[in-house]
Structure 1
């Protein structure tokens, strides 16, 4: 079993690579506090999940450029309206040239709306459900999305949560590389064993620093790999 560095060691190395504490701080994003996150519309969760599903294995820029048309075609991701779409409408919308025509991915919109609706019935809103899920077990929320959602496994669900404002670390290339090089994980980074080892490591770093899991994974990502001072250099966090 490998050994995790202290937060201070990771932080100092990231500062050196990025030109000092102030420049590093400017590169860090922060999640929404739970009190704000639970006020986010459930339509925004469906929108971000959909965006990440389409961006998976595709050019992100193209999806971003077409996104206003996605919003228009899919009723601004209004959950109730999406759930009323019959199969024939789903098929027709999947052929709309203004969006990316991928029927299997378009089908996930209604499927993930069903997941959100199921959670709403139990918790009042999907936003409250996500906001109240503790980040010290964020891998549990990832697993929930993978099991109950459509195409939300791997990094897709996690990136969707981050985009909405949920405090989550990400398994970026640099972060995975860090844990592999330290011997904290071996084999697939997406296995249950690796997820638990990574969650435990971030829990320890959170305990040491009291920083958000988002900041911690960004700092870790910027402390390794080939990204140095330039803010626009490689960093897929």
Structure 2
């Protein structure tokens, strides 16, 4: 990998990526093929919310490596199946070495499944979350330009909590918004900048956003 001038790394394939996606093949594939692309189906969005919650206090690489085990443990993140989990399921999951064995996060995943089902009466989880899409997206030149939360992520966090969701803090929800394409925080020098289809002008040059600095994802 060779450093570029805009806080990205040039890979052997000639593509520019942020440092967090430049070395680990799993993280690189996730960045190239998935991160920042729109997620507009209930099951996929429910899974992302839960995995972002499991990440709290951990690295995303840890969660990504465990994702196959998470999917097996939580019935493919089918909210109807997870909503029916019992205390016995909780104890089973607490003994599963393939996932993050945190009781509060496991209980939150079940609680979030039930809240997802309840939202169907109000138009569904997808419409509920996507109503918080901002009118503009950050335009980071370097990683320090990327915020860790926003007015919209704070509002989304509060709204989801009112609907019964857990582990949906403002920083976690901003990470969700990044992951599902609601905001484009690909660095301007990245080969993925503007690739979501949601922000057609996102790749055009611009001045610094003035957003507060972020820590590494």
Which bracket does the TM-score occupy, shorter chain normalised?
A: 0.5 to 0.7
The answer for unaligned runs of 5 or more in structure 1 is: 1-15, 20-25, 170-209, 226-233
Find the counterpart in structure 2 of residue 117 from structure 1: 117
Question: With structure 2 as the length reference, what TM-score do the two structures score?
Answer: 0.59
Find the counterpart in structure 2 of residue 140 from structure 1: 155
Find the counterpart in structure 2 of residue 53 from structure 1: 53
Q: Is the radius of gyration larger for structure 1 or structure 2?
A: 1
Distance 1:118 1:215 in 2: 41
CA separation of 1:118 and 1:211: change in aligned 2, threshold 3 A? farther
Contact kept in structure 1, 2:133 and 2:182, CA below 8 Å: no
**Greater helix fraction, Structure 1 or Structure 2:** 1
The alignment status of 1:126 with 2:129, answered yes or no, reads no
CA shift for structure 1 position 215: 9.5
The alignment status of 1:164 with 2:185, answered yes or no, reads no
Distance 1:224 1:132 in 2: 23
SS in 2 for 1:18: coil
CA shift for structure 1 position 150: 0.3
The alignment's C-alpha RMSD in Å is 4.0
CA separation of 1:76 and 1:215: change in aligned 2, threshold 3 A? farther
CA shift for structure 1 position 235: 6.6
The answer for unaligned runs of 5 or more in structure 2 is: 8-15, 19-30, 136-150, 186-199
Question: With structure 1 as the length reference, what TM-score do the two structures score?
Answer: 0.55
Find the counterpart in structure 2 of residue 236 from structure 1: 216
Moved beyond 4 Å, runs of 4+: 26-32
Find the counterpart in structure 2 of residue 79 from structure 1: 79
